[in-house]
Structure 1
Amino acid sequence: MSRRLKLAVQNATAATALPTRAQLKAWAEAALQPGVKQAELTLRLVDAPEGQTLNREYRGKDYATNVLTFTFDDLPDIPGLPLMGDLVLCAPVVEQEAQEQDKPVLAHYCHLVVHGVLHLQGYDHQQEDEAQAMEALEAQIVTALGYDDPYRSDKES
């Protein structure tokens, strides 16, 4: 694996069904697109109160959500500057969603890390065409990492 990703992991949760640092790094690195030469990311695993506070303060939504992505959009456009940002994963929400969606918790963590890292690179899902492109890329990356297509239930219905 290349050394193009510097990853800091912060564990601020009481949850025990967590991916390892090596898994988190592999998933994040797999989501980096070819044009990204270097990336510096912080991935923070939190409990519901912190997840809810962050979602309320930064998105105006008063509930804990699965993943929050914080980009450093205010950095100058300097050639060679690495991709930088933070991902916050709310462990209880991830675990609950995995159970509700009948998928392994690690598969759901993988999908959400990939999803968040793609957001850091400018991918979005606000418009239908953007959502389709982002979901297709997520599915490609997640399945290449050995997990089922995270949108499989959407495609079966």
Structure 2
Amino acid sequence: MAVDCIVEEPRWVDFEAMAELASNAALSHLGLDPSAFEISLLACDDARIAVLNADFREKAKPTNVLSWPSDERAAEVQGEMPTLPTPGPDSELGDIAIAYDTCAREADEQEKPFKDHVTHLIVHGTLHLLGFDHENEPDAALMEGLETEILGNLGLADPYRE
């Protein structure tokens, strides 16, 4: 996979390796060849993601991760698998932005290792690029189940376990 990383925030350490690991794990879990697709990732701070969140979601506050799929892939029926992409000339899945400050705060509040939390959020963002969502209970159950399986395959804890 070509993961094109732009690291604006210098506190992000080993971001490219985390991004590659997480996005490859998500694609492979779904039977997709990671080398056939591209994702662009922005590693930024809360100030930058707040601007993006305001511009694209009309929410003028920071968030942990945002994603912009290149195509609409959502399933027509709630709780069903979206239409997964096929490799082709335009293999760009979309863009993801992730904020250091919010990720660090959440990891601390949830008593999780920072790297594990970031890996989860990159998997989460990658699934959004593939058409998964959590806007309703059936879709959320599908997406969260996949995240748990993918992270488990990486040796990481279930992020939804209390």
3-state DSSP class of the match of 1:51?
helix
CA gap of 1:86–1:121, structure 2 versus 1, over 3 A, is same
How many residues align? The count is 146
Alignment TM-score, normalising by the size of structure 2: 0.83
Provide the C-alpha distance between the structure 1 equivalents of 2:50 and 2:18, rounded to a whole number of angstroms.
25
Provide the C-alpha distance between the structure 2 equivalents of 1:14 and 1:134, rounded to a whole number of angstroms.
31
Q: Cα deviation per residue 1:97-156 (whole Å; 9 max; x = unaligned)? A: 000011000000010000000000000000101001100000000111111111111xxx
3-state DSSP class of the match of 2:59?
coil
What amino acid is aligned across from residue 65 of structure 1 in structure 2?
T
Alignment TM-score, normalising by the size of structure 1: 0.86
2:97 aligns to what?
Answer: 88
2:58 aligns to what?
Answer: 60
Among candidates 3, 7, 11, match of residue 3 of structure 2: 7
Q: Which portions of structure 1, spanning 4 or more consecutive aligned residues, are displaced by more than 4 angstroms?
A: none
Any residues of structure 2 matched to 1:2-151 within 5 Å, and which? Answer: 5-16=1-12, 18-32=13-27, 33-35=30-32, 38-73=36-71, 80=88, 81-151=90-160
Contact 2:132/2:139 (8 A) holds in 1 = yes
Gaps of 5+ in 2: 73-84
What amino acid is aligned across from residue 47 of structure 2 in structure 1?
P
Provide the C-alpha distance between the structure 2 equivalents of 1:79 and 1:117, rounded to a whole number of angstroms.
16
Give the stretch that moved more between structures: 24-33 or 99-108.
24-33
Deviation at 1:20, TM superposition (A): 3.7
Kindly, what percent of the aligned residue pairs are identical? 35
